[in-house]
Amino acid sequence: MGALKEYVDTIIYIFAEGVRGGRAYRLLLAGLTIMAVYGVYLWLFVQHAPIFLGLDKGGLIMTGVNENVPWGLYISFFTFWVGVAASGIIFSFAAYVFNDKEFKKVVPLAEAQAVIALIITVWGIVANLGRPIRATFEMPKFENLRSMLDWDFTVIFTYMILNAIAFIYTVNQMRLGRPVSRKFIIPYMIISSPFAIGIHTVTAFIFHALTARPALNTALLAPRFIATAFASGPALLLVLIYIAEKTIPEFKVDFSVYKKTLNVILVSLTTGLFFTLAEVHEVFWYTTEPLKKAQLIATFYGGPIPMLTALTWTWIAFGVAAVLLGILPPMRRARESIVVIALITFIGVFAEKTLATILPGFVINPVGLPSHYKIAPIEYFVSIGIHSTVFILYAILARSYLSTLLKYGYKG
Amino acid sequence: MAGGNGSGVVDEGRRRALKIMALAGMLASVDLAVFDKEEFKKMLRKVGLDEILGGDDVELAGAGESDMEKRAKKKTEEMKKICFEAAQKICDEKGLNHADCLAAIHKCRKIHVKATPPKKGAKYAMALDLDKCIGCRRCEYACVMENNTMRNAGMEWIHVIEYDREGLQDLEGGTADYRVAPKKGKVYVPIACMHCENPPCVYVCPVRATWKEPDGIVVIDYDKCIGCKYCVVACPYGARRFNLMKPSINPLELNPNMHILGNLIRPVHVTEKCTWCIQRTRDGGVPACVEACPVGARTFGDLNEPDSPIRKLLERYDFFVLKPEAGTKPKFFYYFGGAKPERAEGGE
Amino acid sequence: MLSKPLAIVGLAMLIIILAVSPTARAGTADQKELYPCIQCHAAIKPPATTNTSTFHNITLKDGHSGLYCVNCHNPDTAMMELRGGVPLRVPGFHNHTQLYDTNKLCAQCHSDIYELYQYGAHGNTTFTCPGGETHIIIGYKGVKYVEHDCPPGTKYQMKPHEPCIVCHDPHNPKFKTLSILPPPSDRPEPPPEGEIVAGGVSTLVAGIALIALAVFVQKRGGA
């Protein structure tokens, strides 16, 4: 009973600590809140008005999705953020398996990042879902285990809960001045690492086994997802650590964290680029499979959806640029230049893992007709709302962790 | 040990990782050893893959017959309510004695939602003669009328697509928006749900809101669909449509003959598709597109009945299906050209 | 040795001439019946007073273009009966059931299709139901639609196909090309987005301004 109360107190502590801050912090939260409220309002009462309000107007017709492109921007955010979430495990591995003290400091940040990334993914699916209320009752029944969505549902929620538990546990131990116990960390690592890989693999599996979408029907999809995920997740965390370092003068992270993370980013990015090359070769060298070829020609050379081509080339350009900059020795000497490389990586992978991943399967429809997709304004604003809401949560979690770290210090 | 001259942290960490792996491996092997293997096998057999995955012959119907019928009764009331609401609007506008008002009310009264179960031993199929099809789209219109499809959202279940004769095999370079037909060198291919033997859409549905009935018709339960659109993504024929908005109905054009798995007035945000006019075919009729085809290009029938038109056609013509490489085994066959010459069997 | 091929060629040409020229064929007694009527009647007009039917100037087209009137019509009955004792039936003149009589003649040549027709695999398909009615109504966008008004619970019964000559004019058997209808439904019109955009942009501006202010305050506070 005592332990339970301890944890309830910790959760209250996290939120209480998280919202405390100076004027700047409060202004930041206010700015995010405005965008969040408007986005959530648009989603609940405009886009999903027929569901939540029973109105005749509204509905998914307001978004850009149509019969040929059933999954649009929301699902693309799902594929992107699930990758970011998966990469949290890299930091846990570095910290606990290799017992790196400096990494241990940022592990809770990675865990919080995983939690919020998974909230975006789930929200992305729900925003694209026709009937979210019905889904909450029907999905937990697991009626069709052949459906990848059921598995995805399972792994995403499990991994989210695991990360949340780890984060709360770490903060709890720190708050009470106790070291993080190996008895907790080792089983946690063993359980959560397959899930970390699993969330992203299963997400790729959702797409990759469909004969209807030959551009996605490649076994390389899951490895490609993982490779780019392990580039974008650490890149984002690096940027966030840098921001934390700049805003909180007392918080200092060793330069080795930057350097080691950069290496991870570069290796993953190179692998991801290599996988893209392999796919391009598969299609453009000999293949005569008509639909796959048509879809990839529309992806690389331009077709009915010009945005897709732009995003694909953005990924290739930014990815190559990041790798080239990353292997230049002068770039590896300063935090700032490493953060710039991380930013370039993040933008490149963001371009690839969002719409450029799913749209190739839809750009030519299964019977050879060109599809059309234009992101509707409501999609932009709902996405901004979702992201703002989740960033508020991340700001709260990160701030409470960092202030705890500064107050009590880290005992690993 | 490899890290003999090990300098500190990393080697220790590596050793620890190895220890963890060894521990996990030991746990797994102990598990296997402790387990009674026969028991384990039995367990595997009990939850057979077929059962989980839902093989071709497994009836996937979620609800029993009586249950369906009960639901159909409820649905009748629900549909009548929706219809009367729409009729009320017409009556308010045009007056109670206007012919349209009376007709609308008459239509609404006639609404009857059936739950006709599949006929035992039936296996439906459809065939289409590409030589005959002139691409006139009358099937699309009949389908829209028959199935109470939403008129203003591009929801028609059949798409007639114009391909080049060379492009047909690869389904390349088609257009659904032609205005003049038939043209030379073009072929017109009406595409709707193929009612596949291996339907990918059924396999991917996370809540089993869609399944294949024993008579071969792939149906959707509109009260179960959560609107995830995974089936729309999975269909290799682009045959599924998603209700992106609340369907608007005109009671004057309503088809009161409804089936609970077919042409109900659909709720918003659910998937729908061709059901081979389940409300007609289960009672011995033919789909509306077959009836409407002015050139008699379509044939519908029961494959298991030796005298059915479809069986006779299958015997006399060479058929092909779209995308055979997808392995879905469609029950919608296309053919063209003349009948096969009858050959004597056997002979040396 | 040159004369033999020449003789063969000559003989072949003679045969071809005999075969293709109707006049040449008319000479033989047993082929007299197959003399193409319009060959003469194109030039020899009957006097205006003579009571001739309009059928005389019918030209056989398409699939039947190589045939002669007497292939189907029996000249012994002044063309008023068909070959094989099949009575002459005219759509619009005879009633619907009587029209089925002529199917027998069609079946003589088109046995393959006739077989499929009998099984219901060639021709239009429709059904009725006992106790119900079938209306043809003008439906969506003015397109004809067959409505079956059946009482609930009845089993439908397939109707036999229309007689051959309803769809295929025997003198011009190719099926008539029908008009093409436009794609049935209009694409959904874009929903009103003005308000959403206005609201979204103003929120975005406000939010970003606040965040920028936060950064500014932080910088000043830090400095």
Mean pLDDT estimate for chain C = 75
Interchain proximity A368–B230, CB inside 8 Å: no
B208 vs A contacts (CB less than 8 Å): 143-144
Give the closest-approach CA distance of A24 to chain C in angstroms: 4
Helices then strands, each counted (H, E), chain A: 16, 0
H/E run at residue A323: helix A306-326
Nearest chain C residue to B176 by CA distance is C183
Which residues of chain A lie closer than 8 angstroms to C204, CB-CB?
A: 35, 381, 384
> Cβ separation of A377 and C191 shorter than 8 Å?
no
Mean pLDDT along residues C66-85:
77
Residue C14 lies in a domain: no
Expressed as residue numbers, the domain containing C133 is 126-160
Check if C63 contacts B (Cβ < 8 Å). Answer: no
Count of the separate structural domains present in chain C: 2
Overall average pLDDT of the C34-43 stretch = 64
pLDDT at residue A343 greater than cutoff 90:
yes
The residue-averaged pLDDT of C22-28 equals: 42
The residue of chain A nearest to residue C212, with distances taken between CA atoms, is A28
Residue A405, pLDDT score: 86
HSE toward the beta carbon, residue A142, CA cutoff 13 A:
7
Question: Within a domain: residue C208?
Answer: no
The helix or strand, by DSSP H or E, that contains position B332, with its residue range, turns out to be strand B332-335
For residues A328-338, give the mean pLDDT. 87
Mean pLDDT of A133-156: 87
Instruction: Give the residue with greater pLDDT, A321 vs B45.
Output: A321
> What three-state secondary structure class fits C186?
coil
Pair (C37, C112) in one structural domain: yes
The verdict on a CB contact (< 8 Å) between A60 and B236 is no
DSSP state of A44: I
pLDDT greater at residue C162 or residue C10: C162
Among partner residues B144, B284, B295, which is closest to C157 by beta-carbon distance?
B284
C150 within some domain: yes
C117–chain B nearest CA distance, Å: 9
What φ, ψ does residue C109 adopt, rounded to 5°? -95, -40
Q: What does DSSP assign to residue A250?
A: T
User: Looking at chain B, which subunits does it touch, using at least 3 CB pairs closer than 8 Å as the criterion?
Assistant: A, C
Amino acid B187: pLDDT: 92
C53 and C84 together in one domain: yes
Question: Is C199 among the domain residues?
Answer: no
**C45 & C97 share domain:** yes
What confidence score (pLDDT) does residue B316 get? 82
Do C172 and C78 share a domain, yes or no?
yes
Residue C41 is assigned to a structural domain of this protein: yes
Asked if pLDDT for residue A203 goes beyond 80, the answer is yes
- Residue among B238, B162, B150, B234 at smallest CA distance from B198: B234
pLDDT bracket for residue C7 (50, 70, 90) = low
Nearest CA in chain B to A63: B244
More confident residue, C5 or C205: C205
Could you tell me if residue C100 is inside a domain?
yes
Do C99 and C141 reside in the same domain of the chain?
no
Q: Do B316 and C127 touch (CB under 8 A)?
A: no
- What rounded mean pLDDT belongs to chain A? 88
- The pLDDT score that the predictor gives to residue A75 is 92
For residue A75, CA distances in Å to A69, A295, A380, B272 come to: 11, 19, 13, 21
Based on the fold, state whether residues C86 and C146 are members of the same structural domain. Answer: no
Mean pLDDT within A208-216: 88
Tell whether C64 and C146 lie within a shared domain: no
What tens digit of pLDDT does each residue of B203-213 get? 999 998 999 99
ipTM over 0.85: yes
Same domain, C47 and C134: no
Q: Minimum mean pLDDT among A42-46, A261-265, A408-412, C191-195: which range? A: A408-412
Q: Do C180 and B137 touch (CB under 8 A)?
A: yes
- What is residue A344's predicted lDDT score, i.e. its pLDDT? 94
The residue that leads in pLDDT, A102 or A167, is A167
Same domain? For C85 and C152 the reply is no
Let me know whether C139 and C89 are in one domain. no
Query: Above 60 in pLDDT, residue A33?
Result: yes
Please tell me which residue, B221 or A193, carries the higher pLDDT value. B221
pLDDT exceeding 90 applies to what percent of chain C?
1
Report how far Cα B186 is from the mean position of its chain's Cα atoms: 28
* pLDDT tens digits in sequence order for chain B, 348 residues long: 343 444 455 567 677 777 777 777 777 666 655 555 555 555 444 444 444 444 444 444 444 457 888 888 888 998 999 899 888 888 888 888 888 888 888 888 889 898 888 888 889 999 999 988 888 888 999 999 899 888 877 788 999 999 998 888 888 888 888 888 788 889 999 999 999 998 999 999 999 899 999 888 999 999 999 999 999 999 999 899 998 888 888 888 888 889 999 888 888 899 999 999 999 898 888 999 998 888 888 999 898 888 888 888 888 888 889 988 888 889 999 998 777 776 666 655
pLDDT at residue B32, as a whole number: 58
Which among A389, A311, A339 is positioned nearest to A239, based on CA atoms?
Answer: A339
Instruction: Please say if the pLDDT value at position C50 is more than 60.
Output: no
In degrees rounded to 5, what are phi and psi of residue B188? -110, 120
Tell me the two tokens of residue B143. 């389908």
Q: How confident is the model at residue C41 (pLDDT cuts 50, 70, 90)?
A: low
Would you call B20 exposed, middle or buried from its count of C-beta atoms within 10 A (0-12, 13-18, 19+)?
A: middle
Q: Enumerate the residues of chain A whose CB falls inside 8 A of the CB of residue C206.
A: 31, 34
Residue of B nearest to C121 (CA): B309
Contact between C180 and B280 using a beta-carbon 8 Å cutoff: no
Q: Which residue has the higher pLDDT, C223 or B78?
A: B78
At residue B3, the pLDDT reads: 39
| Cβ-nearest to C125 among B142, B178, B291 | B291
Question: CA A171 to CA A82: how far, in whole Å?
Answer: 24
pLDDT tens sequence across A222-254: 999 889 888 988 898 889 889 888 888 888 888
pLDDT, residue B232, reads: 92
- Between A and C, how many CB-CB pairs are < 8 A? 73
Complete DSSP assignment for C101-147: GGHHHHHHH-HHHHHHHHHT-SS--EEE-TT-EEEEEE-GGG-EEEE
